[in-house]
Amino acid sequence: MDENLVGYLLHALDEDGERQMEVYLAGSAEARQKLENLRRGLEPLEVDRDEITPPPDLLVKTLARVAESCSQTLPHAPAPPRSVGSYRSSWRRVDILVAAAVLLAAVGVGVSAVAHLRIQVAPLAECKENLHQFGIALNAYHQEHRHYPDVTKEAPPYNVAGMFVPLLIQAGLLSRDINVRCPGNGPAKPCPYTLDEIHALNKAEFDWNTPLLSCCYAYSLGYRDENGYHAPAYQGAGFPLLSDRSPRDQGPGNSPNHGGTGQNVLFQDGSVRFLKDRSLNFDDDIFRNKAGKIEAGSDANDTVLGPSSYSP
């Protein structure tokens, strides 16, 4: 991946290449230092940035010169020497061995870097696609009900964030085998229960299984104001609806789903973006309300995405 640093620095990569390099740089302090060294090394080239305007008749003169050369009779090439046995390469055997060793080492580093990047990037892309599937179902639900799944009214007394998955399955908007585990955390895992199966559980069984309902993802907990609780509803394209889960200990830091480098976030317009930290608009922690709690937001603009077992 280091061989792409120059392309990244010169903005010569395509959009996917830029994103891959950003992920790679975010996880490698050594790569960031190399990028900075390259930037400093290329600074002298700025003096040659101005384009030189060619003379207006350059094309005509060039074609004339080519035509003149083509009309001339070229001299015969000299015959090769009869004896080549005395020729001795300036490369010694030890030189060839050293060059081969350097080449193999360079190839090994390149293959290792590419493999490492694939390990990082593939789960991010698969997680993003998985969140897209949830986004399609959630927006279809909103079109019919004018709000997103309300776990406080549509799933009592099992009003935890993870219930949005059985509600979407019950509505026929998600298949039973929808993956609720982030691809970065292991093989696909379906939601363990439908809504009807959950109602057959006793309280202890339900409490034990609540973390498994939406497993690796965190769903919007809505908000409360002087008029009471409000289920998640459409509030704008840039408003989060679902994301990778918050840290296991509910402390600071990013989601553990992608090694703490950030989290994929599904927004209400159906887009998914990878955020390198958990703050939105600089002051809105997507995993806490303004009071610092994992529960419904303090107002309509207070985003809170709760893990599966948390109630609004």
How far, in Å, are 5, 42, 69, 70, 311 from residue 60 at the CA level? Answer: 40, 35, 14, 16, 78
pLDDT score for 116: 44
Q: Alpha-carbon distance 122 to 255, whole Å?
A: 17
pLDDT score for 266: 96
pLDDT score for 104: 61
Q: Alpha-carbon distance 14 to 29, whole Å?
A: 23
CB 174 within 8 A of CB 158: no
Q: Containing H/E element for 152? A: none
In this prediction the pTM is 0.62
pLDDT score for 233: 87
Consecutive 10-residue averages of pLDDT for the chain (312 residues): 68 69 75 77 57 62 66 60 52 60 58 46 88 95 92 80 94 93 90 89 89 94 92 88 87 88 94 90 85 92 92 90
pLDDT score for 34: 81
> Could you give the 3-state DSSP secondary structure of residue 220?
strand
